[in-house]
Amino acid sequence: MSEANSSPSAKNKEEKPKLKILAFHGYRQNGTLFRGKIGSFRKAVSKYAQLVFISAPHRVATDDGTGDEDARSWWFNAEDNSFSGKCLGGPAIGFEDTLNLIKEVVEEYGPFDGFMGFSQGACLVGILAAMQQKGYLPYTFKFAIFASGFRSGSLVHKGFYDEDINLPSLHVYGESDSIIPKEMSESLINLFTNATVAEHLGGHYVACSGSVKEAYLDFLHERYQDLIETQQTYESKDI
């Protein structure tokens, strides 16, 4: 049900700690495919972060009506069990299953320092950040990274967006993204009081070159420094 492609292993006390990030794929992807597609990102952030990839619980139906094992969705916002980021006013079919899955993954592999998502996965991370702000989650995370993020148009999610979100966040989007236009990403960004934004000239993918790569590294360096300082504080108390 979940894939921890970079699952945690026994820690070597001599190794420096890394930020642990739970990664959420886009619609019609899965954890394994997403991991393969963002190799440049994984390599770029490997100094600071360890990524854990999971797959959404719902199979996306094929033309013959069967479920495609490789194509997954975190929820559906149309009655025919499909999803579109541009759909407004629809349901959120299967969303509770996703919340239960994440809770199980956090219990088994967490805690996680941050969440990272692409497209529908980024939309999900935005909802989770809003739910955390309201105290609705049984776990916590300290920062969020969004690639082609947007607000959910599902009716049951509208209430999550009624207040500012006080969570350090990095938002990356493409100026020529036709699937999730930049205006949709900007609408999500406006919710975050501590947002860092990196725009690239490309389309709908996880960009990781030039100034965008530097934005990832700068953002994670700050989060990493927080981790080290926290660890040093705990160690000093143990002395």
Look-up of token digits 């292993």: 9
226 part of the active site: no
- Rounded-to-integer distance, Cα 90 and Cα 84, Å: 10
The encoded tokens of residue 198 equal 């990196």
Catalytic annotation, pick one of 2, 6, 73, 119: 119
pTM recorded for the entire structure: 0.90
CA nearest neighbour of 22 among 139, 133, 135: 139
Instruction: Report the mean per-residue pLDDT for the chain.
Output: 91
User: Tell me, what's the pLDDT at 191?
Assistant: 97
Fill in the amino acid letter for 158. Answer: K
Residue range 169-217, pLDDT digits in tens:
999 999 999 999 999 999 999 999 999 999 999 999 999 999 999 999 9
The encoded tokens of residue 202 equal 């490309």
Q: Residue 66 carries which DSSP code? A: P
- Rounded-to-integer distance, Cα 50 and Cα 220, Å: 11
Find the range with the poorest average confidence among 3-7, 159-163, 199-203. Answer: 3-7
User: Tell me, what's the pLDDT at 61?
Assistant: 86
Catalytic annotation, pick one of 157, 171, 200, 204: 204
204 part of the active site: yes
User: Pairing between strand 19-24 and 49-54?
Assistant: parallel
Is residue 5 predicted with pLDDT exceeding 50? no
CB 63 within 8 A of CB 128: no
Domains defined for the chain, CATH in brackets: 19-238 (3.40.50.1820)
Find the range with the poorest average confidence among 14-18, 68-72, 115-119. Answer: 14-18
Catalytic annotation, pick one of 152, 177, 185, 200: 177
Is residue 33 predicted with pLDDT exceeding 90? yes
